[in-house]
Structure 1
Amino acid sequence: MRKNNNFGFQMSGSSALPLPVMQQWETITGHRLLERYGMTEFVMAISNPISGKRKGGTVGKPFAGVQAKILLDDESSNDKTGVGELCIKSPSLFKEYWKLPEVTKQSFTDDGYFKTGDTVTVDEDGYYIILGRTNADIMKFGGYKLSALEIEAVLLEHQAISECCVLGLPDKDYGEVVCAIVVPEAEVKRRRDEELKPALTLHELSDWAKEKLAPYKIPTRLFLWESLPRNAMGKVNKKELKRKLADDPK
């Protein structure tokens, strides 16, 4: 998150911002963060307005001159309101990956849109909502596609949760099950430790979440960790975590 003192706005980027975090920031600072969306391949493409309605939980609308479309699962059709992979065409779009012609070919649609690898939808006002990285944040439970980011945003409302990471773990019956890795709030953990109890149990979490999430979105596995492993950009590598937990679920 960066504050631009010259233009008087505070911006959030790099990864999707959970709505509870945005609300906390606004409560503390009195400013609503400007959330935007971009990638190295095309710099910035979508943004909430600097002056105008900034909608929490969205990254706004495409800039002038930027074209965006949603590629549906069958890859033979696209839509501007459904759920699928976000594709971008922009004056700032790069030409190719250096010495990787096959990767470049796979990264573009036949009509020249770049496939971002992010699953999105659009709300009633045309604001884009990032549901997560298709290969890391989108879980398949039975016949449902679930957004880990959506579930994380809800779990962060729980008073005992400081940080959390939601991912899908392999399951022979449902394809994947929803797993939550939680870093407890320090004071809650201290108090529960004195009572010789875990900071949060799966039963407590499920009972609390049933009023906020559909039954198939409620985590069925829970891990309490001291911290979440993050890279230099502050991001959690969910693919690596999934491999680790699948191999060693302890």
Structure 2
Amino acid sequence: MLHVHGLFNALLAPLYAGAAVEFLPKFTVRGIWQRWRESYPRDGSKADDAITVFTGVPTMYTRLVQGYGGMDAESQAASAYAARQLRLMMCGSSALPLPVMKQWENVTGHCLLERYGMTEFGMALSNPYRSARKGGTVGKPLPYVQVKILAEEGSENAATAEGELAVKSPSLFKEYWNKPEVTKESFVDGFFKTGDSVTIDDDGYYIILGRTSADILKVGGYKLSALDIEAAILGHPDVAECCILGLPDQDYGEVVCAIIVPEAGAKAKADEESRPVMTLEQLQTWAKEKLAPYKIPTRLLLWESLPRNAMGKVNKKELKKLLDH
């Protein structure tokens, strides 16, 4: 509820349509799964106050998948059945790693609906509601929305290029309050510069590569997407969470550093055997089949958890501060 996305999409739009919006005191894995099971018992009935739509952030779906994995067989069957009865499940606030999306679809049958928007203009891009959705993308421009890709110097790129996404929309804001210089720097030819780096696939679907200031690494002349590397490493069975950062390096400009939160079972087994869950060499060997050589991490840190902001996103600024200390 901290931004337009939550206020408009998750609250005001459902209320405008005549739906009821249910707030829980806080997000808990057990509470969400239980609420769905109560909505749709396995006897085929449906509760009067059954949940029909759920919207969450990537971290929530990661936690729900982990919680599902820790259930007994009977609870898994009841939970999966209940989740499949919901009409729609959406994901927003940050890019959803493709491995998590596939895991969720395997469990619940839902191909999560991903969209893209900002407080400055609401929603701009979306996968389709009724037709096929493409994992790892945020879809195409919504009606009346214009988008283009900007090169680093601010000029427009070719349609298949990579660069900063710029948006023009009827819902676009006018200005930042009492910040004329920031407002001026944020627009080019009437388009708002989002600060997000994107590319387009062969079908015209937009792929978010990350924030130009935090998620785009410059390693030895290559521009790398941290989100792309994170998605690949999340496919490792011993990895619960992953964050990729570029660390300063005298020779390469930056080097790829992976900060990994191990999966609970793998960590427990490693502790019993008095060994690390994973070494850098083991990660690099595994990653050779998943990533180009210049994308493979050359630094590895194993942490208990990752700092997050109020929206559930990994706080990379805080991470960099911690690493500096």
Q: CA deviation at 1:88?
A: 0.2
CA distance in 2, matches of 1:145, 1:62: 25
Specify the code of the residue in structure 1 equivalent to 2:279: T
State the distance in 1 between where 2:229 and 2:205 align: 20
Which residue is equivalent to 1:83? 162
Indicate if the aligned counterparts of 2:148 and 2:156 stay in contact, CA closer than 8 A: no
Cα deviation, 1:122-145, whole Å, max 9, x if unaligned, reads 000000000000000000001100
How much has 1:231 moved relative to structure 2?
1.3
Q: Which amino acid aligns with 2:313?
A: K
**8 Å contact kept, 2:137–2:205:** yes
Instruction: Tell whether the 8 Å contact from 2:307 to 2:318 is kept in structure 1 after alignment.
Output: no
1:97 is aligned to 2:144: no
Structure 1 residue 241, shift from structure 2 partner = 1.5
TM-score by length of 1: 0.95
Q: Contact 1:69 / 1:79 at 8 angstroms: preserved in 2?
A: no
SS of 1:97 mapped into structure 2: coil
| Contact 1:168 1:242 (8 Å CA) reproduced | no
Q: Which amino acid aligns with 1:99?
A: N
The answer on 1:5 being equivalent to 2:52 is yes
The letter of the residue matching 2:260 is: V
Report sequence identity in percent: 70
Instruction: Identify the match of residue 66 of structure 1 among 121, 127, 145.
Output: 145
**Post-superposition, which runs of at least 4 consecutive aligned residues in structure 1 deviate over 6 A?**
1-4
Equivalent pair of 1:59/1:130 in contact (CA under 8 Å): yes
Q: Deviations over 1:21-46 (max 9, x none)?
A: 11111111111100000000000010
Q: Which has the higher contact order (CA 8 A, sep 6+)?
A: 1
Secondary structure of the residue aligned to 1:78 is coil
Select which of 128, 133, 157 maps to 1:54.
133
SS in 2 for 1:157: coil
Take 2:270 and 2:133, find their aligned partners in 1: how far apart are those partners?
39
Q: Which amino acid aligns with 1:9?
A: L
Q: Which position in structure 2 is the counterpart of 1:35?
A: 114
Amino acid at match of 1:48: N
Taking structure 2 as the reference length, the TM-score comes to 0.73
Aligned-residue Cα RMSD (Å) equals 1.6
Structure having the higher Rg: 2
CA shift digits 1:81-134 (9 cap, x unpaired): 10000000000000000110000000000x100000000000000000000000
State how far apart, in whole Å, the 2-side matches of 1:79 and 1:195 are.
Answer: 54
Residue in structure 2 matching 1:169, options 207, 229, 247: 247
For these two proteins, the number of residue pairs brought into alignment is 246
How far, CA to CA, are the matches of 2:156 and 2:241 in structure 1?
38
> 5+ unaligned residues in a row in structure 2: which ranges?
1-5, 11-35, 37-50, 54-85
1:187, distance to aligned residue in structure 2 (A): 0.8
Residues 188-224 of structure 1: per-residue CA shift (max 9 Å, x gap): 1111111111011100000000111011100000000
Contact 2:147 2:166 in 1 (8 A): yes
Maintained 8 Å contact 2:227/2:244? yes
Return the offset for 1:64.
1.1
What are the equivalent positions in structure 2 for 1:191-210 lying under 5 Å apart?
Answer: 191-210=269-288
* Corresponding residue SS for 1:92: coil
CA distance in 1, matches of 2:95, 2:230: 11
**Contact 1:72–1:79 (CA under 8 A) maintained in structure 2:** no
1:216 and 1:32 map into 2 onto residues whose CA distance is: 31
Mapped partners of 1:100, 1:80: distance in 2: 32
Distance in 2 (alpha carbons) for counterparts of 1:64 and 1:144: 35
For 1:107 and 1:79, locate their aligned partners in 2 and report how far apart those are by CA, in whole Å: 21
